[in-house]
């Protein structure tokens, strides 16, 4: 089966081709327009998707050496995401489906982050997945394909959002997560102890207090001081975020008794989180799955693999499918 997948839920226009041999192409056109605003501007995002979607799909087909005639299935992100952004990908996918008479399947973006783990590996069910992105932070018990139980989630900001907003206070460009990751490698995580909210309570998360705490801690510091201590500050913030994420992941494992864990979403690209997850797996004798770094942040390959899994279960959609911003 040859699958063409399209992802446009936020600020990355992505198209991928997945064949029986694996991922043949995964083109990601990231929108630089938002950098000067320090965050994603929804209207600009949808306009940028419109501009780039045709060429992104063409590039994906070309790189995969697969023609549109050879495509058997279109997989597309249905939600969650920005309505205007979702509409562009969905309308494009429906157009191709209608004009070429190709079956279509809508994919939940958060499911796709989880199933990105199935691109290169075959995790065994059940497993607990820590899904951490710019919009979501969830602990999910994945019992069987598409049989999920959300064990805990953030009550306010997402982990990626915390990286981005605190990074912005530190003067780092959007998205600040990858910059803080790079800087924290040269810093001391024990430089300052930032709070880890709800650390000993349940499986929910809260990151808005961390943002406020960082704001208060930094408000009377000079720009020069911040600059001189940027590595240590990045490491200390990363420690607070990843510390609580791993603590709750461990708690979820103890609660469910699973033997296998996974991490997924943009923040799963974070080196401190990856190494803490490796340590946890070692300590508890668990099998750990982490997607290849290119499949952590938003990409269409994860939409393709999820579409494939849905199609194998006979779960197709039709042209009446609508975008669902809060799916
Ligand atoms: O999954 P994703 O690409 O988009 C959403 O679905 O939200 O995640 C984007 C988020 C951003 O907040 C970004 O700063 C964060 O993932 N991120 C990272 C790293 N790479 C991306 N955060 C920390 N360390 C990283 N290496
Ligand atoms: Zn995402």
- The alpha carbon torsion through 65, 69, 73, 79 (nearest 10 deg) reads 80
Mean predicted confidence (pLDDT) in 53-66: 98
Average pLDDT of the residues of the chain: 96
Closest C-alpha residue for ligand 1 atom 7: 134
Q: How confident is the model at residue 31 (pLDDT cuts 50, 70, 90)?
A: confident
List, in sequence order, the alpha helices (H) in the chain: 42-64, 83-100, 109-115, 159-169, 176-184, 208-219, 223-228, 230-256, 271-284, 301-312
* Ion ligand 2: protein residues whose beta carbon lies under 5 Å: 133, 298
* Contact indicator for 60, 89 with CB cutoff of 8 Å: no
- Does position 321 have pLDDT exceeding 90, yes or no? yes
Pocket test for ligand 1, best of 267, 301, 303 (most atoms within 8 A of CB): 267
- Token digits of residue 201: 């309570």
pTM of the model: 0.95
Phi-psi region of 314 (alpha: psi -120 to 50; beta: other; left: phi over 0): left
Ligand 1-lining residues (CB < 6 angstroms): 10, 133-135, 160-161, 163-164, 175, 177-178, 181, 265-267, 269-270, 297-298
Pocket test for ligand 1, best of 9, 183, 266 (most atoms within 8 A of CB): 266
Which positions ≥6 away from 92 have C-beta within 8 Å?
Answer: 6, 8, 53, 54, 57, 76
What local confidence, expressed as pLDDT, does residue 33 receive?
87
Q: How close is the Cα of 21 to the center of ligand 1, in Å?
A: 28
Q: How confident is the model at residue 39 (pLDDT cuts 50, 70, 90)?
A: confident
Minimal CA–CA distance to 199: which of 148, 247, 261? 247
pLDDT one-digit tens code per residue, 98-154: 999 999 999 999 999 999 999 999 999 999 999 999 999 999 999 999 999 999 999
* Contact indicator for 112, 82 with CB cutoff of 8 Å: no
* Contact indicator for 253, 128 with CB cutoff of 8 Å: yes
Place of tokens 């809060």: 326
Which positions ≥6 away from 241 have C-beta within 8 Å?
Answer: 159, 162, 163, 207, 210, 267, 273
Q: How confident is the model at residue 34 (pLDDT cuts 50, 70, 90)?
A: confident
Q: Cis peptide leading into 175, omega within 30 of 0?
A: yes
For the chain, counts of helices (H) and of strands (E): 10, 10
């Amino acid at each position: 089966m040859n699958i063409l997948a399209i992802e446009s839920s936020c600020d990355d226009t992505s198209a991928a081709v997945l064949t029986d041999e694996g991922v043949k192409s995964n083109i990601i056109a990231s929108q630089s327009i938002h950098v000067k605003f320090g965050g994603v501007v929804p209207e600009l995002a949808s306009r940028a998707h419109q501009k780039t979607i045709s060429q992104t799909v063409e590039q994906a087909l070309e790189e995969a050496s697969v023609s549109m005639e050879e495509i058997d299935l279109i997989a597309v992100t249905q939600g969650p995401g920005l309505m205007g952004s979702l509409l562009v990908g969905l309308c494009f996918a429906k157009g191709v489906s209608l004009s070429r008479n190709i079956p279509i399947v809508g994919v939940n973006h958060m499911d796709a982050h989880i199933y990105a783990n199935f691109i290169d590996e075959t995790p065994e069910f059940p497993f607990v997945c820590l899904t951490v992105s710019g919009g979501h932070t969830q602990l999910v018990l994945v019992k069987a394909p598409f049989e999920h139980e959300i064990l805990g989630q953030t009550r306010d900001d997402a982990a990626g959002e915390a990286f981005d907003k605190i990074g912005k206070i530190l003067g780092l460009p959007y998205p600040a997560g990858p910059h803080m990751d790079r800087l924290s490698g040269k810093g001391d995580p024990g430089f300052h102890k930032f709070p880890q909210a709800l650390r000993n309570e349940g499986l929910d998360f809260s990151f808005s207090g961390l943002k406020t705490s960082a704001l208060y801690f930094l408000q009377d510091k000079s720009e020069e001081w911040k600059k001189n201590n940027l590595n240590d500050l990045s490491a200390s913030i990363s420690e607070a975020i990843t510390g609580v994420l791993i603590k709750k992941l461990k708690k979820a494992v103890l609660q469910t008794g699973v033997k296998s864990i996974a991490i997924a979403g943009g923040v799963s690209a974070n080196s401190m989180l990856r190494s803490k997850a490796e340590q946890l797996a070692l300590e508890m004798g668990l099998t750990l799955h982490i997607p290849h770094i290119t499949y952590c942040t938003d990409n269409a390959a994860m939409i393709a693999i999820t579409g494939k899994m849905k199609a194998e279960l006979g779960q197709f959609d039709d042209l009446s499918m609508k975008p669902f911003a809060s799916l």
